[in-house]
Amino acid sequence: MPKHGKKYTETSKKIDKQARYDFNEALELSLASSYAKFDETLDIAVRLGVDPRHADQMIRGTVVLPNGLGKEVKVLVFAKGEKEKEALDAGADFIADEETVEKIKNGWFGFDKAIATPDMMGTVGKLGRVLGPRGLMPNAKTGTVTFEVAKAIDELKAGKIDFRVEKAGIIHAPVGKVSFGVEKLAENVKAFISMIVSLKPASSKGTYLKGITVSTTMGPGVKIDPVHAK
C-alpha cells in the first residue's frame, strides 16, 4: 500500500472511512482536511449503476457550474472569417491559425479547452492524435463543435465542465476550489449530480447513484450518502 505523509495521516483521523455523511457535513469535513499551502481543488467521484460497455449506458454530458471552477480557463478556437472575429470579441485566448496548428503538432498546449466551428473539423482532425489523449479534442456532444462560438466561449469561461463515465462505472470531475466555502461548493456539487441524475438511462436497473466521494487535491476522500445528494 502507498505510504501517506504525516499531514495526510493526521487529517484522515477526522474521517470515518466506513461512514456515509450527509451533504453539508461531508463538504465541511473535506474542507477541514485541506492542508496544502495552495488553494486546493475539490474533486468528486460518482459511482453509477451502469455498464459502460453498453452504448445506451455510456453516460456523458456537460454542466455549467453555478459558481465556476475558480480558475482562468484559456480557450483556443478553430474558426475563420466572421466566426474568428466573433471568437476574439467573446474573449477567446487563441485563434488556431497555421502557425498555432504547427505549434500544437510540436507539443504546445497552452490552453485548457478547444472549440471548433464545423467547417474547421478537417483541420482539427489532423490534430486528433495529440488533442484526443489530452481531452482537448472539440466534440459536438460537449458543445465544443458549434457555430455558436460566443456562447461556447462564455460557458467555458463561466465554468462549464464535461464528464464521461469510465469503464468501472465512475465519473470524476472537479467542482471548485476550497476557498469557495461549503455553500458555493454545495451549489456546484448539486448542479453536477442533478445533471447526472437527469441522464439516467432507462436500461439502468436497480440503484443508479451507488456511491459519491469528495476529496480535496491532497486530502482523503469523504463519502456522501447518495440519499442526501439528490
Distance CA 92, CA 85 (A): 10
Of 79-83, 93-97, 185-189, 224-228, the one with minimum mean pLDDT is: 224-228
Distance CA 70, CA 98 (A): 32
Amino acid at site 116? A
Could you give the count of Cα atoms lying within 13 Å of 131 in the half-sphere of its Cβ?
A: 23
Domain boundaries, the chain: 6-69+160-228, 75-157
- At residue 10's C-alpha, the angle toward residues 5 and 13, to 5°, is 130
Of 8-12, 91-95, 105-109, 195-199, the one with minimum mean pLDDT is: 8-12
Could you give the count of Cα atoms lying within 13 Å of 178 in the half-sphere of its Cβ?
A: 19
pLDDT grade, residue 1 (50/70/90)? very low
- Can you give the pLDDT at residue 230? 60
CATH number of the domain located at residue range(s) 6-69+160-228 in this protein: 3.30.190.20
Mean pLDDT of the chain: 91
Distance CA 79, CA 215 (A): 38
- Can you give the pLDDT at residue 7? 64
Give residue 24's Cα distance to chain centre. 21
CATH superfamily of 75-157: Ribosomal protein L1/L10, domain II (3.40.50.790)
Residue 212 in contact with residue 44, Cβ under 8 Å? Answer: yes
